[in-house]
Structure 1
């Protein structure tokens, strides 16, 4: 039987609390399904600075290369000492160093949770390594230049290789869902850069004749999400547009605090909630662990597919089912109008997992 080695990077702010909650509910589910997981705690953020003078120590990065995947808690890089602020934040550094080119962010309405839209069940595939993000679109250096005190230039990078691989990832997911992909771009203005993104995505689409394809400009897409989110299934777009749209979609579906994601390449995956570290409530045991828990569900699904292990899929299903049942039963954290603490919420999910019946 495979022993799955999963890294645990607790992070900053509410990170240790929500990551602990996620690990606990998955330990409960794994015991029930018979999955053997070795949880490996690794320093990151303030813990890394304290013990290694680095928010992402080399020992952490090197260890992660030999894991099956990992959980990344939120970081508070804005508060790091000056010598660390100019570095890539831990999340960006891991995406870049390990070439985690796909940022996959679902937005789904949930039982018992009030949402802005009546119904949504979509997933955004965000290209994670290029585009207009100056901190990660250059091999060496930084993609912004201050020419004079009053003039700044910035670059956007788009390559066929990067667009092809995120497009293939999106279309493969569409084949497992409703066979519909929406390409988001701004090719009417950024004709060469996002024009290439649109062109290459359209070329990849020809290899998936069963999938229906449409495309929208980024500004129009934001309006369409607000008005008719339920009409979209798989969305593929470049780095910055994907970041913006996924935050919008998460809030429309209920709350950004509920929004999960994974960052992956063909061999490694990192579970990471879409929200920040909320340092103002750190240590109060009131943070909402839902985004972190559902991100870990995504990690289990990703691992299940790559290792052909249905027990991993069942482990994630038990956790997701326990979480939704908790919501339906009125067990919610303070941000959702409830009074459950972070640990209370995790305990409620674990209780429902223990009572559940395996398929």
Structure 2
């Protein structure tokens, strides 16, 4: 089956890690007989400077015809984030009902952790991705006057919270059965107790699961002190955003961290992007870590129905790290190009292991 992928490399190191990831995905596609058709779209801050828009007028319509969206990074110092993020990333997430932001965090071979304890970390953050604290409800009053005020309204709906909780529950049934819910119901009097109630109601439909609600400040501390105690964490838009960066850094580097913006029902394309952002301080130096983008590509393959290919790609970048090839954020000296070359070498070395037909219900793949 042919998959047409919309590619938005974007800004900063996005333009460096994107071709690195695509070269790895093309190698995987050849081995697994996948058809990946890349449609490169030059949208981002340069497009904004030229047109005043991050996306063309018909940009969302263009994206809707694709199997998936592969995003590098968005953001530059000279353009406010309210333009770059709300002009591209957030409209895509909301137009295509990408209401789950999935962010796996785990210990990778050869990657030093900031922790003295070497117990492995393997957790997944399920972030509600369409509402919560990042709603568009609010505004400014009395602009330019001494009493100028800004109002930002968090928006939590039963529909939005329950579908995020249900996704986390379904995921937990395939893992340890443990779900942690991030809350702040002792200080945020309306939205967080509402969140707690709906998460508890939803998880009650899964008698095999255990649910622990943990206050966000205590949870943040616990993720630093003993992250190996967590498995599936479900959180609101803001809390999930913060926790995923924290957990990624504890595991070694946010340069490694992938994410998937999912429309689980498949009515719209999902979008896959690394967590690290555009990193303008190292852009153009050829030292960016491409693993976050490559791992995001593996998540994309899995969503497109190619789990064996996804596992092959993950095994390859893990083998590259285990071989001692590391970029500067991991304490090494490898360039983006050298890291990518090693991953491709490992893809080829592992090809025989992953090329056997995959047994699935009703036949083979």
Give the TM-score normalised by structure 1.
Answer: 0.91
Counterpart of 1:181 in 2: which secondary structure? strand
Match of 2:138 among 139, 143, 148: 143
In the alignment, the residues of structure 2 paired with residue 187 and residue 335 of structure 1 have an alpha-carbon distance, to the nearest angstrom, of 36
Contact 1:261 1:295 in 2 (8 A): yes
Match of 2:345 among 326, 337, 351: 351
In the alignment, the residues of structure 1 paired with residue 57 and residue 47 of structure 2 have an alpha-carbon distance, to the nearest angstrom, of 10
User: Are 1:230 and 2:228 matched, yes or no?
Assistant: yes
Which ranges of structure 2 fall in alignment gaps of 5 or more residues?
357-365
In the alignment, the residues of structure 1 paired with residue 179 and residue 131 of structure 2 have an alpha-carbon distance, to the nearest angstrom, of 21
**What is the match of residue 211 of structure 2?**
213
Q: Per-residue CA shift, 1:273-312, capped at 9, x if unaligned?
A: 11111122222211111111111111111222xxxxxxx1
Q: Name which of structure 1's ranges 183-192 and 50-59 shifts more when overlaid on structure 2.
A: 50-59
In the alignment, the residues of structure 2 paired with residue 70 and residue 249 of structure 1 have an alpha-carbon distance, to the nearest angstrom, of 25
Which ranges of structure 1 fall in alignment gaps of 5 or more residues?
305-311
How many residue pairs are counted as aligned between the two chains?
Answer: 344
**What is the match of residue 298 of structure 2?**
297
**What is the match of residue 18 of structure 1?**
17
CA RMSD of aligned residues (A): 1.9
In the alignment, the residues of structure 2 paired with residue 329 and residue 74 of structure 1 have an alpha-carbon distance, to the nearest angstrom, of 28
Structure 1 residues 348 and 59: alpha-carbon distance in aligned structure 2, compared to 1, 3 A threshold: farther
In the alignment, the residues of structure 1 paired with residue 125 and residue 85 of structure 2 have an alpha-carbon distance, to the nearest angstrom, of 27
User: Are 1:7 and 2:26 matched, yes or no?
Assistant: no
Deviation at 1:178, TM superposition (A): 1.1
User: Are 1:326 and 2:324 matched, yes or no?
Assistant: no
User: Are 1:273 and 2:267 matched, yes or no?
Assistant: no
Counterpart of 2:192 in 1: which secondary structure? helix
| More helix as a share of residues | 1
**What is the match of residue 67 of structure 1?**
66
Q: Per-residue CA shift, 1:198-224, capped at 9, x if unaligned?
A: 100111112211111111011111111
Contact 1:100 1:128 in 2 (8 A): yes
Contact 1:69 1:269 in 2 (8 A): yes
Q: Per-residue CA shift, 1:251-273, capped at 9, x if unaligned?
A: 01111111111111122211111
Q: How does 1:1-359 map to 2 (within 5 A)?
A: 2-49=1-48, 52-80=51-79, 85=83, 88-117=86-115, 118=118, 119-133=120-134, 137-138=135-136, 142-146=137-141, 149-150=146-147, 151-265=149-263, 266-267=265-266, 268-304=269-305, 312-356=306-350, 357=352, 358=354, 359=356
Give the TM-score normalised by structure 2.
Answer: 0.89
